[in-house]
């Protein structure tokens, strides 16, 4: 059973919102959808989505490892505390970005 709401039924302190029905693509609710905003953690969500797509298509594995660059290590904000020059598995990187919301 689908839940359909009108804008009056959704109260949120969020500055921006865009809710769609996944199956139909119908827009259910918007708030300030035309106002530019910084992507913040939306970029992390898209990164996670792409990683899971690559895992599903077999071009990436959870035990594949990536070298931590100094640029990544210097990123501000939330940290997962990876070390420069270390090799970190996709599994650990995913945990870092999903659980810790790490920027590094």
Q: Which residues are catalytic?
A: 41, 44, 101
How far is 68 from 73, CA to CA, in rounded Å? Answer: 7
How far is 11 from 83, CA to CA, in rounded Å? Answer: 42
How far is 94 from 49, CA to CA, in rounded Å? Answer: 11
The closest alpha carbon to 8, from 33, 23, 32, 28, belongs to 28
Residue 22: helix, strand or coil by DSSP?
coil
């Amino acid at each position: 059973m689908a839940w359909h709401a009108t804008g009056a039924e959704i109260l949120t302190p969020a500055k921006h919102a865009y809710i769609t029905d996944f199956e139909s693509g119908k827009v259910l609710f918007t708030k300030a959808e035309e106002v530019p905003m910084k992507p913040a953690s939306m970029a992390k969500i898209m990164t996670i989505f792409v990683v899971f797509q690559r895992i599903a298509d077999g071009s990436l594995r959870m035990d594949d490892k990536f070298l931590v660059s100094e640029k990544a290590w210097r990123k501000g904000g939330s940290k997962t505390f990876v070390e420069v020059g270390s090799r970190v598995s996709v599994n650990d990187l995913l945990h870092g970005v999903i659980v810790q919301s790490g920027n590094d």
